Amino acid sequence: MSANDTVTSSAASLEELYRDLHRHPELGFQEHRTASIVAERLTALGYEVTSGVAQTGVVAILANGPGPTALVRADMDALPVREETGLDYASTATATDASGTTVPVSHACGHDLHTTCLLGAAAQLAADRSSWTGTLMLVFQPAEELGSGAQALVDDGLFERFPKPDVVLGQHVAPLPAGKIAAHAGAAYAGSDSLRVRLIGQGAHGSMPQNSIDPVVMAAETVLRLQTIVSRELASTDVAVLTVGALHAGNAANVIPGEATLLLNIRSYTPAVRQHILESVQRIAHGVAATSGAAHVPLIEEIERFPVVVNDPEALATTFDAFRDWLGADQLLEPGAGAGSEDVGILATSAGAPLSFWLLGGSDPSLFTIGDMTDPALLTIPSNHSPHYAPVIEPTLSIGATALVTAARTWLAPAR
């Protein structure tokens, strides 16, 4: 078999694996099948594999002599989203979520691709141990979508049970042209806080509103007032987003319910802006309740949090110098700071290591006319979390696996 035959066979194997993982998505902390496949493949490659870290995480170590330790991370979990791509390998899976509700499940964020790319990179690096020295630490993380997977790994002794890395590396597929890679130094991805706000009023018959303290009206006023936090309380140079994603109240047209619930999401980049928004949410909710004559103060609960992801400028420059030599400068993009959120930064800050994290293009290049961050196609191509999101398999898989290999080799020591 020639070298080209070997590459083709490997690419075909990765594509088959990707299709399988895509058909069988699993929610956060439920990734048992995915973790089993990951552990089996890494064990066969000669890695020292530990399963069950933070319930369903997998950590694999390949010690290859003296040198730095490079941690390369991929997330494995899927989303409670019904897939509508029409692909012949589309997911039809359902699962029971943490609240006991049966939900559709799909890899609408591309974590199946992240897992496949890292397994492909693991095979390449294990097969070429003569070219590098050091310790390769692969982390297949659960529950990124819940914002708690990375912290769960740390809490389960990730950096006490396994080596502390000298760098944390990783990537996330995005609706950019396949073949291109993008990253931003510094604060690269927003911090995110999701809140549940319960407004407690007093129910009554719809024909007797005078006997009520209407939580629907309270909720409506609260939603409108919340929109003024970003537009009227923050400086124009501050960057933040506040979204009310859900409003639940009542079950009948002629009944004023006793309470209403809002679900909010806040995106911010600095501690000061985050704190101001959180305090303003509390002030507004309490103020609306007070002026409505409600007997109970609102109940505000944090249900999810992602810290700001900060790419170490020097670490990212080192990685991208290697990407430039491999892929060419015209294939590298500067996306600016993104409003999306990730928990990979927790691994880096907990280890005291620099982070180098990038976006991997995964969309059909023929759909783009310019091919950079100004391309109008970015406004129409389905993006992550859409039921229509579907990365093209190639060249995304090949580029993604090679990017991880290139980054890891850059941070490991060359063999002498």
180: exposed, middle or buried (C-beta count within 10 Å: 0-12, 13-18, 19+)? buried
- 172 assigned to a ligand binding site: yes
Instruction: Establish whether 117 is an annotated binding residue.
Output: no
CA separation for the pair 13, 8 (Å, rounded): 9
- Please tell me whether 15 is known to bind a ligand: no
- Going 118 to 124 to 128 to 131, the CA torsion angle's sign is negative
Question: Encoding tokens for residue 90?
Answer: 């589309």
Q: List strands edge to edge, sheet with 191-200.
A: 240-249, 259-268, 191-200, 299-306
DSSP secondary structure letter of residue 131: G
48 has which bridge partners? 61
Q: Among 31, 140, 28, 119, which residue's Cα sits nearest to residue 75?
A: 140
Q: Which residues pair with 338 in a beta bridge?
A: 189
DSSP single-letter state for residue 54: T
Count CB neighbours of 93 within 10 A.
Answer: 18
Q: Binding site annotation covers 26?
A: no
B/e letters for 332-362, b = 16+ CB within 10 Å, e = fewer, are ebeeebbebbbbbbbbbebbebbbbbbbbbb
Question: From the annotation, which residues make up the binding site for Mn(2+)?
Answer: 109, 111, 145, 172
Question: From the annotation, which residues make up the binding site?
Answer: 109, 111, 145, 172
